[in-house]
Structure 1
Amino acid sequence: MTRWHLTAALAGGATLAALLAPTLNGLVSTGGGDTNNGGGGLIQPLVEPPLPPPLTQQAGKIQLTAGLDQGAVLAGQPTERLLVVTLKAPDADGGNDRPVNVSLVIDRSGSMQQRGKMEYAKRAARELIESLDASDTFSMVLFSDDAELLAPARPMLDAAWLLRQVDAIEERGSTNLYAGMTMGIEQVRRSVSSETVNRVVLLTDGRANLGVVDPDSLGNIAASAASAGVTLSAMGLGVDYNEDLLASLADHGGGSYRYVSDPTTLTTAFRDELQQMSAVVASGVAVDVDLGDAELVSVLGGYATSGDTDRTRIWLGDLYGGETRKIVLKVRVKPGAAGGDLDIAKVTLSDRDGSYAPAQVVAKVTDRPEEVERSLNKGLASLGYMAVASDLADQAASAYAAGKKDESLSLLRASTGIAAQNAARFDDDSLRKQAATLEEQRVQYDAAAPESEEGQHAVKQNKATGRAWSR
């Protein structure tokens, strides 16, 4: 049964209950009077059951759920609610991995000499190359002052030649991330196919300082590539790169963002990226939220979004086998009359294969506070408040990085309080763990100077952790 059928059925049930209410009220005893059951009345007062949980419906390959943290609102006043959308991907078919069409784009600037970063990057690139086979397409781009095409896109037929090219890489110059990224995108686009996973994997240890450096412009390039079927993943190595830029590139590009603090773990990071590429079950995934009796306050989690307060598109890109994602939106529900329903939102999922039937989100309007409390959906509320706490923690990390330590600590205390209070309210272990981790972050920020290596590491690590909490 689709969600709109259920909504119609509930509306019909509400109408029938309204028609019967006067008769039922006349039969309920209010005390005294002769009865045949010892003064208890002909029937006892009805106890209303809890509101039904949001339905999970199939949207192509993805299971989609959408609902409010509380399904009822008080009459006559606006109220803020959390609209929570979850997406559950099916397990990947391990025996039927899709071929990959991948371009590896590596920063070769002078800073890659430090701590042996380039040698570890070369080692990781070698393993990735050796993991591919003749059904895969591979290209490799280096960038410093400009971009160099080390290996043009072609089927993986001569791994030995590629390995020799990798061995000869040397560091030099500055960081023209734009040149490397655009060349990598172009290589993948030459062989793009709906039958393959088409991905650019970008690795850098520094800040873009040549060519196009504006984050919005670079994000738009990644988004344009994604709309053409080419996703982009970004890896930041060490503590000197711009984590907000790389996260934005991955968000707009529909791929993954990874913080690699230790160059010795690059091989593992590349291996994980390849495993994810092999497990893609849905590409070009986006969620459109059309609001009715509500207004958008914010979308949490740093997703790439477009639209306005009435219609918002949230871009997710690739989903992997067995993955569960969530989107949390703060919305302001408009006032309604008691006894009625409010049409909060229509949530529609689309991917490369098309668009699917929307999920309808409805709120019941009541004048009874206890009914509002009874409408709590603990599962969705836990997910929602984890994202709320994470949003404050992300603000704390940005404030700390900007040298505003007192503001950062204040935001973290507020974030920890939200997680801890709702952990107790919902008896939720995930929120308890989040609260404990947030307290550890506060200790980190209190102990280290923002400009220190320890402080910069804490910012990048904590922002990456927050992304996982919000999504």
Structure 2
Amino acid sequence: MLLLSALALLGSACDRTGGGGPLGPLDVDHADERDNTKLVETERPYVAPVDLDLDWALANALVPADKPSELVARIRIEAPDKLDLPRPPARVVLVVDTSASMQGDAIEGAKAAAIELVDSLADDDSFSLVVFHSQAQTLMSATLIGDESRAAAKAQIAKMQAWGTTDLAGGLGLALQQLSTAPASMATPDPKTGELAQAGPGMWVSNGPDPQVLERVVLLGDGVPNDAAPIASLAQQFAARGAAITALGYGLDYDEVLLASLAEQTHGQFRFVEKPEAVAALFREQVLHIQRTVASELRLGMGLGPGITLIEVVGHTSQWNPSLGRNEVALGSMFEGQTQELIVRLQVSPHNDGATVELSDLELSFNDVYTGTGQRFERSFMSALASGNVQAIAAGRDIEIARAGAHARTDAATLQVLSLARAGQLDEAKALLAEAVSWAKDSSKTLEDDKLWTQAEKLAALEPELRSLARQARQPVVTNVGYGPVGGGQPQPFPAQPSSPAGARAVKSVHADAYNNLHN
């Protein structure tokens, strides 16, 4: 069961399938169709472009001259803080899991949090409310926020009931519909017909997204969906239009791998929340991030030098861009004061002693959400020095970067272990866990890092819980975390077995920490 946060609101309810009500099987409240609407254009003041800082550091500025070696780099991107800029308009869709497992404190906490989210939005932001249970329904269509629409939104939120199963895919489909619909203004009805006027921000005439409007979906879910098959395709559609999904996993029964994948594919955020009263704070955090967003569609390009091979960008997917001849990593958006760090593993071939090793050109492209002037760029160049002096190489190590690399690799292994287990590849999950724990403990000794040892111990403690996550999968999972070939086995056809609350809590906590360490 799951909850998504959203953009526009309209006090009426839409039934996705045409039968039954949005709140329960006997509640019927249909939304009126809005036709013959007019377009309202808005103007935004000029502001100076925003610059991001692009920096890098190496685990060692020296590499062996006479043999191949691996080099770890940390790439850091920082957004300026306290800019006091006019904020861009936002389209927020809140998607709430109202299945039966949300009964009691959970649904009441969701209602209170949703009301706080509505109160946190600025006037002229767009809000929509979607719920899903045995079917998915729109309780409020995309509506510009104002006094009238806030009251209407709260009235719809108050009607939410917990019943039925978990049609998450249907909820995501309706959220996508809401992002493709021009929001209406309850404050500007047509004087002749009484119809609500459609508003311009957020839409092109082709129904495509407006790059100057931030699209966000906030999802709150507490369970496993009825049918997960359509979700990957839906996530791709959100990503294609630049709409980030913030996925909030509530309680101890949700599929952490699935929810985190929604956030990762759309460059959103993922959070684990166990108590109903914590949901409101997370909703407020998301609205604050929206209001302070300074850059969107970040993409880091790496043009590798001669004799350099990219092993991996730890915990991230890199893609080869054949037209530019480089690897690229999509990073989503950034808000004021945010820092993103990437750990990159490079394979370096031998070079002449004393030679400058050209590691990689770096190019960061992004859209400045305030100016609307298109792409902006930050560039840098990474290099090291080849040395035949073993003592100098040992002395040149940057222990901080080396430790950061080890922590990131252990986090990535943790996510892969849980993904394998969720896919039913239990033997592969256990093998990777054992390999990763051994490597992390050995590295903790070499790096004199007690925190890394603790991280390894937490990963090791998940071994008894892996069977509780297992399910039969459609496709085997292939790992790529740098410990050798572990994945590719066939899923095992056994059902998941229940875990203890303490065990389930450990899985959710370790998973959330690992994900957020890598996607900061």
TM-score (norm 2): 0.70
What corresponds to 1:61 in structure 2? 51
Following superposition, the deviation at residue 90 of structure 1 comes to 1.0
Tell me how far apart the structure 1 counterparts of residues 308 and 179 of structure 2 sit (CA, whole Å). 41
For the pair shown, which has the larger CA radius of gyration, 1 or 2?
1
Q: Please tell me whether residue 323 in structure 1 is matched to residue 338 in structure 2.
A: yes
CA contact (8 A) 2:245 2:269 kept: yes
- Unaligned segments of structure 2, at least 5 residues: 1-48, 183-200, 203-209, 369-374, 469-497
Matches within 5 A, 1:88-103: 88-93=78-83, 96-103=86-93
Q: Give the alignment partner of residue 144 of structure 2, picking from 148, 155, 159.
A: 155
Q: Contact 2:50 / 2:294 at 8 angstroms: preserved in 1?
A: no
Select the structure that is richer in helix: 1
Match of 1:167 in 2: 158
Q: Distance in 2 between matches of 1:69 and 1:448?
A: 34
CA 244–449 in structure 1, closer or farther in 2 if over 3 Å, else same: closer
Q: The residue matched to 2:169 in structure 1 has which SS?
A: helix
Identity, in percent, stands at 26
1:130 and 2:119 matched: yes
Q: Secondary structure at the match of 1:439?
A: helix
Conserved 8 A contact 1:390-1:415: no
Task: Indicate the residue corresponding to 2:46 in structure 1.
Answer: none
Structure 1: gaps (5+ residues): 1-58, 425-430
Decide which of 240, 244, 253 is 2:257's aligned counterpart. Answer: 244
**Alpha-carbon distance between aligned partners in 2 of 1:160 and 1:357, rounded to the nearest angstrom:** 44
Q: Find 2:217's aligned residue among 178, 200, 214.
A: 200
Aligned 1:405-444 pairs, distance under 5 A: 407=431, 410-411=434-435, 413-414=437-438, 416-417=440-441, 420-421=444-445, 423-424=447-448, 431-440=449-458, 442-443=460-461
Distance 1:381 1:448 in 2: 30
Question: For each residue in 1:5-62, what CA deviation from the matched residue of structure 2 results, as whole angstroms up to 9, or x when unmatched?
Answer: xxxxxxxxxxxxxxxxxxxxxxxxxxxxxxxxxxxxxxxxxxxxxxxxxxxxxx9521
How far apart in 1 are the matches of 2:466 and 2:256?
A: 19
Q: Which of 356, 363, 373 does residue 384 from structure 2 map onto? A: 363
> What secondary structure sits across from 2:226 in the alignment?
coil
Contact 1:449 1:455 in 2 (8 A): no
For 1:106 and 1:213, the matched residues in 2 are separated by 20
Q: Distance between the aligned counterparts of 2:465 and 2:123, measured in 1?
A: 52
Cα gap change, 1:194 to 1:397, in 2 (>3 Å): closer
Aligned amino acid, residue 381 of structure 2: Q
Q: 1:338 Cα shift?
A: 2.2
Larger mean Cα displacement after TM superposition, 400-409 or 383-392: 400-409
Q: Distance in 1 between matches of 2:88 and 2:376?
A: 22
1:419/1:112 CA distance change after superposition, 3 Å: farther
Once the 2 structures are TM-superposed, how far is the Cα of residue 358 of structure 1 from its aligned partner? 2.6
Q: Distance in 2 between matches of 1:262 and 1:110?
A: 17
The residue number in structure 2 matching 1:31 is: none
Contact 2:410 2:456 in 1 (8 A): no
Q: 1:92 to 1:233 in 2, by over 3 A?
A: farther
Displacement of 1:449 after TM fit? 7.8
Which residue matches 2:516?
468
The one-letter code of the counterpart of 1:466 is: A
CA contact (8 A) 1:73 1:79 kept: yes
The TM-score normalised by the length of structure 1 is 0.76
Distance in 2 between the 1:305 and 1:180 partners? 29
Summarize the Cα distance change of 1:187–1:289 in structure 2 as closer, same or farther, 3 Å threshold: same
- Counterpart position of 1:55: none
Partner of 2:313: 299
Q: Provide the secondary structure at the position in 2 that maps to 1:235.
A: strand
Aligned length: 401
1:257 correspondence with 2:264:
no
Using the TM superposition, name which of 60-69 and 230-239 deviates more. Answer: 60-69
Distance 2:262 2:82 in 1: 26
CA distance in 2, matches of 1:135, 1:423: 52
After superposition, the Cα gap between the structure-2 partners of 1:422 and 1:386, relative to the gap in structure 1 and judged at 3 Å, is farther
Q: How does 1:200-279 map to 2 (within 5 A)?
A: 200-210=217-227, 213=229, 216-226=232-242, 230-279=243-292
